[in-house]
């Protein structure tokens, strides 16, 4: 069976590249193009495996990377004169890093409606914070990365998967995550996979988590930039009486082979 989860991914290829460069702790002015290209392509595969639709921008960058890689393999005719083929990505990456820096600085300011308040005009936010979509303070790549690590730890071997029959449903797993959060309103990302045994089960749990984030019942965040721990927190009244039994507004309905895409409104 197919689960198709479509998440709004604002992050583009540059984001993924930066993520890889940071992860490998390499110099942006001397990018090991082979390593980065391989990892980049592995990520695209990963996203495809999870049925996350890969935007065209990602594919264009993949082509660019492969092109650069092939250029690097060719013996340079005149090394002193020739431009480093990697400049094609270094330059936009540097620009992008600068933008991220500024964005970071902006977010650290005393923001009206978040840090400081003035009369009446309490905040500039929407009446319903959910209106703009669920908060995903952890990027999707980090989440996928964390998921991949769990898979590698617990399921060494291939990432291939076959959904032969329905043993687990997203709804069930979502309910399980919610009940875990009821007991402990804040937990580590790994903990929701504790009971899982088989590859599809892990994936169903992961998809359930994405769904819960999407409908705003769960928030995913990191305590700091440095910390690698991804945490989940309940975004609902844990003492509330809502049972979430039948009425979880999940877009991927249990049992349907072609789950409606989660982000249908995007």
Binding flag, residue 185, other proteins (CB under 8 A): no
Rounded to an integer, what distance in angstroms lies between the CA atom of residue 235 and that of residue 133? Answer: 13
Binding of residue 80 to other proteins (CB under 8 A) = no
Region of 40-48, 131-139, 152-160, 200-208 interacting with other proteins (CB under 8 A): 131-139
28 binds other proteins (CB under 8 A): yes
Instruction: Give the contacts of 148 (CB within 8 A, at least 6 positions apart).
Output: 46, 159
**C-alpha distances in Å from residue 146, one per residue of 7, 20, 189, 206:** 17, 14, 8, 10
Q: Which stretch binds other proteins (CB under 8 A): 32-40, 93-101, 186-194, 205-213?
A: 93-101
Which residues, other chains included, contact 139 with Cβ-Cβ below 8 Å and sequence gap of 6+? Answer: 11, 15, 19
Q: Tell which one of 73, 77, 119, 239 touches other proteins (CB under 8 A).
A: 119
The residue within the footprint of other proteins, chosen from 25, 78, 80, 110 (CB under 8 A), is 110
88 binds other proteins (CB under 8 A): no
Q: For residues 85 and 233, what is the distance between their CA atoms, to the nearest angstrom?
A: 45
| Segment near other proteins (CB under 8 A); pick from 41-49, 103-111, 172-180, 185-193 | 103-111
C-alpha 161/C-alpha 145 separation (Å) is 17
Binds other proteins by CB under 8 A, chosen from 25, 80, 132, 247: 132
CB 210 within 8 A of CB 262: yes
Does 76 contact other proteins by CB under 8 A? no
- Closer residue to other proteins (CB): 67 or 100: 100
């Amino acid at each position: 069976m197919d689960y198709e989860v479509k998440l709004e991914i604002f992050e583009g290829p540059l984001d993924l590249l930066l993520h890889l460069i940071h992860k490998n702790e390499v110099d942006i002015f001397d990018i090991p193009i082979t390593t980065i290209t391989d990892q980049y392509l592995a990520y695209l595969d990963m996203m495809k495996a999870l049925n996350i639709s890969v935007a065209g921008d990602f594919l264009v960058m993949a082509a660019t990377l492969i092109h650069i890689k092939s250029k690097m393999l060719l013996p340079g005719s005149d090394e002193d004169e020739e431009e480093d083929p990697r400049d094609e990505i270094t330059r936009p990456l540097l620009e992008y890093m600068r933008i991220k820096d500024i964005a970071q600085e902006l977010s650290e300011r005393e923001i009206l409606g978040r840090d400081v308040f003035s009369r009446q005009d309490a905040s500039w936010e929407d009446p319903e914070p959910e209106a703009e979509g669920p908060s995903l303070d952890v990027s999707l790549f980090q989440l996928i990365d964390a998921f991949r690590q769990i898979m590698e730890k617990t399921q060494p071997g291939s990432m291939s998967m076959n959904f032969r029959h329905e043993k687990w449903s997203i709804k069930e797993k979502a309910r399980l995550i919610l009940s875990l959060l009821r007991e402990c309103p804040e937990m580590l990302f790994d903990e929701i996979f504790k009971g899982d045994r088989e590859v599809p089960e892990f994936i169903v749990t992961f998809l359930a988590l994405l769904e819960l984030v999407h409908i705003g019942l769960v928030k995913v965040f990191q305590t700091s930039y440095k910390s690698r721990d991804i945490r989940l927190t309940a975004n609902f009244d844990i003492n509330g009486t809502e049972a979430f039994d039948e009425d979880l507004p999940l877009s991927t309905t249990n049992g349907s082979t072609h789950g409606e895409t989660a982000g249908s409104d995007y």
